[in-house]
Structure formats: structure tokens, C-alpha cells
Amino acid sequence: MSSYNLKEVMNKPERLAPGHRMCAGCGATIGVRAVLRALHEGDQAVIGNATGCLEVSSFMYPYTAWEDSYIHNAFENAGATLGGVETAYKALKKRGRLPEDVNYKFITFGGDGGTYDIGFQSLSGAMERGHDMVYVCYDNGAYMNTGIQRSSATPRFADTTTTPVGKVSDGKLQSRKDLASIIAEHNVPYVAQTTFTRDFKDIHFKSEKAIYTEGACFLNVLAPCPRGWRYDTAEVMKICQLAIDTCYWPMFEVEEGKWRLTYEPKKKLPIEDFLKEQGRFKHLFKPGNEELLVQFQEEVDRRWEDLQYKCNKN
Amino acid sequence: MAKKDRMSGNEAVAYAIKQINPDVMPAFPITPSTEIPQMVSTYIANGEIDTEFIPVESEHSSMSAAIGSEAAGARSLTATSSAGLAFMWEELLLAASNRLPVALALVNRTLSGPININCDHSDSMAARDVGWIQIYAETNQEAYDNFIQAYPIAEDVRVHLPIMICQDGFITSHAVMNIELIEDEDVKEFVGEYKPEEFLLNPGKPIAVGPYSVSNYAMEARKNQALAMENSKEVILEVAKKFKDRFGRGVGLFEEYRTEDADYIMLIMGSAAGTAKEAVDNLRDKGIKAGVLKLRVFRPFPAEEIAEALKNCKAVAIMDRTESYNAHGGPLASEVLAGLYRSKVNIETVSYTYGLAGRDFTVDSVYEIFDELQAVVNDGFKPVQHRYIGLRTCE
């Protein structure tokens, strides 16, 4: 796990084939490919998927973009479904119905709606039972597939179609749920939060750890959505960098209960830098709304301090 | 040599599961089916079987996990009742549309509300159009026998559909009766190995399950599913025949009890058929030509066969242990009436609702119904259709 060669990693065969119907520049697809690149060559995988953009765009009958076995069941049960697949693997292995040398890994993808909200119970159950699998949330902070409705992952003040900004509305009222922490409190062996950096090293190592750590593991991947966030599609890497440099989206991991920051910005940028790139926060920059930005910054600071405390006490 | 034992319905089904030793069983507790996963867990804990048990956090997840494991190539099952079946609704549809031969031991209990833990058929009857085969038992023996026939039916290449093996909550599930068990080796041989054609854990041959399907394709998928349900009738009969040839008991789609020359027939499902048979024996002693048609298979619905079996009688009482809230009649009545009309069998019929939420159904209730059928035939009596039996009178 120690050596990392970007070129080598990027040249691995794609396990999500081109030709799927995801939007150009979609963060979910970038995330999926990054996670799957961490699979060791020769290892087989079964990929699970909650209903969402990724599913309807990658497996439209009679075509599939997935090179590995793949199962989509419904919106709210990606955890339980892949838990079932993983248990079948145990049963078939035990009963000698699979060749000894065959090695399967189990990875399921869900958007934030299918993970933080409607699939939360199924995820929590699968994590608590300790299935040997990885649940990857591609978090784009709203129900994008149905047209940008708010979820519990949506940041405060975001303009969504169910929290529209209006004469008497500043967008979403609540701050986002901190799902990675909640899953870490399940005492699973590995939880990490990550996104896309220029070298893709953070997401690669975390994916590899999650896939090759025995037990239930969870990855929360910030996966920008150009349509929902309203930024210039080509700027996805810049958006992700601002998310981590403003500490809106800290990158950390929790390994066997030990919290560790995997990235600390040299200079923590003001939250405005992240927000001003996105149309969903445009209203925050109107005269008279300065107080909203202050509130947003305070919440980011509070959470960042809390995370630093968790990481430093180890 | 067949073994004899005394068992409750839940014990009988759990014993069948033990003999089959399936690969994966996710389950969640709910009265009155809870004992089945408890007993299976005990068999596992004592090393008698090596099924992988998944103690899921809900019934929605038990069916979701069963779908995952079955798609992965493992013979899977779960057990539930009432609200548990309702909670896994969406997944029942997906097990069927993904053509996965999952088995479900259903212990029939009423749906809320008011919340009540006793028997009626409102759970499975409300799930009648989700694409599952449904087989009902009168006795513990039948629940056991039906469960042993479940996989040979569901896994047949002509079928590939999930199957619900139903027994009546408490009346069958908790009451103990003498039962004849089949030897372990004979069960294993009868049920056979699960050899799916395509599955997720097939090294070098990956598959994708659960596509998004546009209108150009989705309708054909539904039609194929409907054809599989039509095909299943023949397979159910074949398996029942094989079972009878081998073990000497059982019926096909339904049992005809003293119906051959009957003028009056009660069409009924589940444990209440025993009550009806007892009453019919007494009526026969009095010279009344009464009989019972006990429906074993509700899905696929044997409409033509029922019409054929009823065509020579004068009147039939159609007994629903559920309410449809359609202001018209129970589901069994609706389907039987449609079947009779289609086959141009023009006999008198009366639809009754009985035994909801554990209300007793007695031989006296059966006498009352046969009296009414006779009045309809002999006196031109015009009965109230969709009538409740055993209802408290409001004074």
C-alpha cells in the first residue's frame, strides 16, 4: 500500500466501462472509477448500487457498463442487498461450491439520498452486523436523480427544489448530517471521508484500505454534481480542492476507532471561497445576507475543531 | 421408514428447513412466525445445519438480503407474518421480477389496525398480485409437505419465481399435532441441489441484476413473468404427483372433499377447511349432500379447474378470511366468480367473510352457511352477498 504511482494506477483497466449515460464531469462516476482502481488485479468483485443517477445511467437494459457482477435492488436497501450477496459468498465458499483460489470483494455505491436518508437503516444494519463489504456513499448533497431535492446531506442554505430560495426563504434551514462520524460510532474497522485531489492518492489509499480491511467499511466521497451545484463542469477539481481547503469537507479516516486527519490545509480558506463558485449559494452573496455567511462559517469552524479534537486525542 | 412425531406448524416448517439445509436465511422476528428463525438458529448453534443466518434489522432487509443472496447463487429463504410481509412489499415485487426462487415461510396473521396478532389471510391476500406462488396448508402436516415441495417448484427452469408457503397463525403454527416426517436423505434427494444457470458469484462469468428498463423492454419482462406464473401450475402438479408417488400423500391444486355428488360446496383455504370437513361429515349423516373444496394453490389461480370442479353442484359458499374493502366481496370470491363466469358455470354463489383477526370459525358457522345455501336453492332465498360470519350483533 505504501508506493503510489499515479500513472500506473490510472492505466489500470477500467472496471466501469465508457458508454454509460452519466453527465459529463459527473462526480459520481469519477468516484466510482477511483474506488474500483483500488481493487487488486485478479480479484473479482460484486458491485451493489442503490437506485439513483449512477444506477439508471450505468445499467440500462440491455446494456451494462459494469465489468464485474453487479446488483441493483432498490433505493433504500443497498446495505442489506450486498450483505446478502456477501453472506452467500461465505455459504458457497464454506460448502465448496466456489473454487478455493477465487477471491471476491463486495463494494456497494449509493448516493447521499439512498445512504443518509432512505437507506440509513439498511446501511446501519449492514455495518453493525459486520458484513465483509465496503459501502461507498457518493455524496453530492441532494437527490439529483429526481431533480435536486434536499437530503440530510445538503449543506445549510443550499438552494434546492424542495428548499428553494424565495422572498421569505434563504434555502435549506438545517446543516448537513455528519454520516461518516455516525458510521464510525458503529465501531466498524474502517471509515473514511475523502474526495478528489489532483493525484487521487487519498481516495486510492482509502479505497484500498476499505476494500482490503476485513469487516464492514464505509467511505464517504464528496462527489460534486455540476447540475445541482451549478458550477462550470470543468471546475470539478477546483471545487473539491476548495471543499477541503475551507474545511467544509475534511479528509479523515477512522481506523479501529483511531481518528486521523489525512489532510490539513496549510492555510484554512474562508468558506466563501467554496460557496461563491456554486449557483446554489448565489443568494448568500447578496447585500444583507452577510450574517448567513457568518453562520455558515461558524458551523464549519465548530465541526473542524471537533474533528481536530477527535484526531488529536489519540 | 417414515418417522412420526408431534409438532407445531412452526416446528414442522423449521424441521423441513433443517432437512433442506438451505444456504442463507435472513430473518426478523414477528409474532407468530418468530419461532421459525429461532428454531433454525438453534439448529445452527448446535451444529445440526450450517445455513448462514442473517439477523437483519427489519423485514425489508430480510427480503433485500434474500434477493442478494439468491441472486448470488445461494438457496435462500425467510419467514414472516403480517406487518413483516407488508414491510417487505417492494422487495416481494423485486424477488419476483428478478426471477429469484426465494422461499418464504408465511405464518398468516392479520394486518393492523387495530393491531392484533391472530390469524386471518389479510397479509398474503393483500400480497396476491406481487408475482409470488402462494400455497396454503390446512394442517401442520401440509405445511411441512408444502415446504419440502417449495424449491422443486420455484427453482424449475419453467418457473423461476419466488414461493410463499402459508400456514394459519397460531391455529396451525402453534397447535401441536401428529405428523409424519420424511427421512433426511429422502428430503435431500427430493429437493435436490440448487444449480442456477446464471448468478453473481460465477467466476469469470459476471452478470448484472436489476436493470433500469425503458418502455421498449419492460412490458416484455412483465409478460415473461406472467408466463412463468402460468407455467408454474403444471410444475406444481408434477411436483405434487412426484411427492404423492414417493411419500403417499398430498393433493394438487385443491382437495375435493365429498364433492363428487355434492349439491352444496364450501370453497375455503387454510385451517378452517378442517372445521368445514367435520361439519360436512355431520351433514352427510343427515342426508345433506354437502362437500368442501379446499384450495391449496391460490397463485397461480386455478380458475378453470375450480369451475370444472364446481359445475355440477347447485350452490357454493366462497369463504374469504380477509376483507378487500372494495365494497364488493373478498378476493377469493372475486376470482372464483370471474372463473365461473368465464367457464359459463351458472350456479348459485354466496360470498362470506369469516375468521378475521382470530375470530373463531366453528362447525355451527358451517351449518349456518349450508342452511343458507339450501334456502337459496330450494326456497329462492336472496342472500346478502359479502356477508360476515360470526360477527357480534349490535344491539
Q: Which domain holds residue B337?
A: 254-388
Round to whole Å and give the CA distance between B43 and B26. 15
The minimal CB distance from A46 to the residues B51, B52, B201 is found for B201
A44 touches chain B (CB under 8 A): yes
A141 touches chain B (CB under 8 A): no
The minimal CB distance from A83 to the residues B23, B58, B68 is found for B68
Say if residue B216 is in the same domain as residue B363: no
pLDDT confidence band for B310 (50 / 70 / 90): very high
CB burial of A164-197 (b: ≥16 within 10 Å; e: otherwise) equals: ebeeeebbbeebbbbbbbbbbebebbbbbbbbbb
Say if residue B330 is in the same domain as residue B263: yes
Neighbouring residues of B251: CB distance < 8 A, sequence distance ≥ 6:
B240, B294, B296
Nearest CA in chain B to A56: B212
Q: What are phi and psi of B244, to 5 degrees?
A: -70, -45
* B211 within a domain of the structure (yes/no): yes
Find chain A residues with C-beta within 8 A of B64's C-beta. 73-74, 77, 80-81, 84, 122
In chain A, the DSSP E strands lie at: 44-49, 59-60, 63-64, 69-72, 104-111, 133-139, 165-166, 169-170, 190-194, 216-222, 252-255, 258-261
Q: Average pLDDT for residues B105-133, to the nearest whole number?
A: 98
Round to whole Å and give the CA distance between A189 and A268. 30
Tens-digit pLDDT profile for residues B164-200: 999 999 999 999 999 999 999 999 999 999 999 999 9
* B394 within a domain of the structure (yes/no): no
A122 touches chain B (CB under 8 A): yes
A86 and A105 Cβ atoms separated by less than 8 Å: no
Round to whole Å and give the CA distance between B106 and B59. 12
Q: What is the pLDDT of residue A2?
A: 60
Query: In terms of DSSP H, where are the helices of A115-200?
Result: 120-129, 179-184
> Is pLDDT above 60 for B43?
yes
Cβ contact B72–A92 (<8 Å): yes
- pTM beyond 0.90: yes
Cβ contact B23–A102 (<8 Å): no
Q: What are phi and psi of A203, to 5 degrees?
A: -70, -35
Say if residue B84 is in the same domain as residue B107: yes
Cβ contact B203–A102 (<8 Å): yes
Say if residue B47 is in the same domain as residue B97: yes
Nearest CA in chain A to B95: A73
Domains of chain A: 6-312 (3.40.50.970)
Round to whole Å and give the CA distance between B284 and B279. 9
Q: What is the pLDDT of residue B393?
A: 79
Nearest-Cα distance to chain A for B133, in Å, is 21
Instruction: Give the N- to C-terminal CA distance of chain B in Å, as an integer.
Output: 58
Nearest CA in chain B to A124: B57
Say if residue B220 is in the same domain as residue B148: yes
A46 touches chain B (CB under 8 A): yes
Say if residue B122 is in the same domain as residue B144: yes
Q: Please count the CA atoms within 13 angstroms of the CA of B105 that sit on its side-chain side.
A: 39
Q: Which of A20, A22, A47, A61 to mutate to test the interface with B (most CBs of B within 10 A)?
A: A61
Cβ contact B60–A85 (<8 Å): no
What are the angstrom distances between the C-alpha of A150 and each of A140, A143, A276, A284, B146? 10, 6, 19, 17, 48
Q: What is the pLDDT of residue A313?
A: 74
Cα–Cα–Cα angle for A138, A140, A141, rounded to 5 degrees: 120
Find chain A residues with C-beta within 8 A of B54's C-beta. 83-84, 87, 129
CB burial of B135-147 (b: ≥16 within 10 Å; e: otherwise) equals: bbbbbbbbbbbbb
Nearest-Cα distance to chain B for A102, in Å, is 7
A267 and A223 Cβ atoms separated by less than 8 Å: no
The minimal CB distance from B212 to the residues A60, A68, A87 is found for A60
Find chain A residues with C-beta within 8 A of B213's C-beta. 60-61
A102 touches chain B (CB under 8 A): yes
CATH value at residue B199 = 3.40.50.970
| SS3 state of residue B96 | helix
A97 touches chain B (CB under 8 A): yes
How many domains does chain B fold into?
2
The minimal CB distance from A83 to the residues B65, B200, B208 is found for B65
> Is pLDDT above 90 for B46?
yes
* B136 within a domain of the structure (yes/no): yes
Nearest CA in chain B to A61: B213
Say if residue B290 is in the same domain as residue B360: yes
| SS3 state of residue B367 | helix
A157 and A170 Cβ atoms separated by less than 8 Å: yes
Say if residue B20 is in the same domain as residue B109: yes
The minimal CB distance from A90 to the residues B52, B202, B211 is found for B52
Q: Average pLDDT for residues B341-359, to the nearest whole number?
A: 98
* B395 within a domain of the structure (yes/no): no
Say if residue B338 is in the same domain as residue B313: yes
Say if residue B319 is in the same domain as residue B230: no
Indicate the average pLDDT of chain B: 97
Amino acid letter for position A49: N
Say if residue B225 is in the same domain as residue B336: no
Centre a 10 Å sphere on the Cβ of residue B167 and count the other Cβ atoms it contains: 32
Q: Average pLDDT for residues B228-255, to the nearest whole number?
A: 98
Find chain B residues with C-beta within 8 A of A98's C-beta. 201, 203
| SS3 state of residue B79 | strand
Say if residue B16 is in the same domain as residue B41: yes
Q: Which of B57, B62, B76, B193 to mutate to test the interface with A (most CBs of A within 10 A)?
A: B57
Instruction: Report, as ranges of residue numbers, the positions in chain A whose pLDDT lies below 70.
Output: 1-2, 314
- Give the count of Cβ contacts less than 8 A between chain A and B: 165
Nearest-Cα distance to chain A for B23, in Å, is 6
